[in-house]
């Protein structure tokens, strides 16, 4: 009888711990989410505007191919005279939310004084969008 009391809890523990974990539902959901695509509408750098300033402006359209709305962050990397910088959007920025099967255009336009120096060229290196939900 003593052995039986020990055997029943042991059997229950083995049964519980021997069950495989089913991650297939989570994996299936992750596989169904398609990556956001993008198109650079324009990217323009004007070294000298004539007002002792330079100007960088661009528009990038992000497209959500999913059947549900998404939220996420864009990352835009530029090369200014060999100096790489990345701008990562916040949850308050344009295109943080993109409706299902919709597009969102991210716009940037800034003029900077030449008082701190002149950048000769700025090139777009890469664009990405990371879905957070």
Residue 32's pLDDT is: 85
54 burial (CB, 10 Å; 0-12 / 13-18 / 19+) is: buried
pLDDT in tens, 33-70: 999 999 999 999 999 999 999 999 999 999 999 999 99
Residue 4's pLDDT is: 47
β-sheet bridge partners, residue 56: 45, 110
Contacts of 13 (CB under 8 A, 6+ apart): none
**Would you list the domain boundaries of the chain?**
32-131
CATH topology of domain 32-131: Immunoglobulin-like (2.60.40)
β-sheet bridge partners, residue 97: 71
Please tell me the least confidently modeled range out of 3-7, 26-30, 75-79, 94-98. Answer: 3-7
């Amino acid at each position: 009888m003593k052995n039986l009391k020990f055997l029943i809890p042991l059997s229950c523990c083995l049964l519980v711990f021997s069950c495989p974990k089913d991650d297939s539902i989570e994996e299936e959901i992750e596989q169904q989410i398609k990556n956001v695509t993008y198109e650079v509408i324009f990217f323009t750098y004007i070294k000298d505007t004539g007002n002792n300033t330079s100007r960088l402006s661009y528009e990038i359209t992000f497209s959500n191919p999913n059947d549900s709305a998404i939220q996420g962050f864009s990352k835009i990397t530029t090369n200014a005279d060999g100096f790489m910088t990345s701008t990562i959007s916040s949850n308050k920025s344009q295109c943080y939310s993109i409706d299902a099967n919709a597009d969102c255009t991210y716009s940037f336009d800034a003029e900077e004084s030449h008082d701190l120096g002149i950048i000769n060229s700025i090139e777009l290196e890469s664009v990405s969008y990371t879905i957070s939900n």
